[in-house]
Amino acid sequence: MSVEIRDILRNRVKEKLARDEVVASMTVRLVRHIEIARMAASAGFDTLYVDVEHNGFSWDSGQYDDPRVRAAYARTTAACRKHGKHVGVGGVASRPDLTAEFVKLGARYVSTGTDLGFLMSTCLQKARQVRDIKT
């Protein structure tokens, strides 16, 4: 079985969205085994979202810089790719270096913050605008 480059680069999630179809994503916090990608694929999920911030117990480490976090994420990404699924990452909005690293490993969805964080940022910006009005 030969694999075409267009099949490797194919983005089935984008294709589904273009057809106005629902995209189903599975969020995991406890990644113990790469079989999670196979299970997500067989259950019909399109993406597997790995929440790094809340993975302290699953990685046996609460540290983002722990090499086991990167290694586990790399294994999960490779397993998702094998099963034709995209992988996303969250919980690293405060760490652009890790976000970039995970994207280079294959993440195709990145959560860059929370609703509350985005709202607070805009509120603070508007408050500064009002405060800086010259009277």
**DSSP state string for 10-58:** --HHHHHHHTT----EEEES----THHHHHHHHTT-SEEEEESTT-TTT
Q: How many alpha carbons lie under 13 Å from residue 84 in its C-beta half-sphere?
A: 11
Range of the domain at 99: 5-131
Output the domain CATH number for residue 71: 3.20.20.60
Q: What pLDDT, on the 0 to 100 scale, is given for residue 58?
A: 47
- C-alpha span between 105 and 135 (Å, rounded): 52
| Threshold 0.85, pTM exceeds | no
Counting Cβ atoms within 10 Å, is residue 72 exposed (0-12), middle (13-18) or buried (19+)? buried
Q: What are the pLDDT tens digits along the chain (135 aa)?
A: 565 656 556 677 788 888 998 888 888 766 566 677 778 878 888 888 887 666 554 445 556 777 777 787 888 888 888 888 888 888 787 888 888 888 888 888 888 878 888 899 999 999 999 999 988
Q: What is the number of structural domains in the chain? A: 1
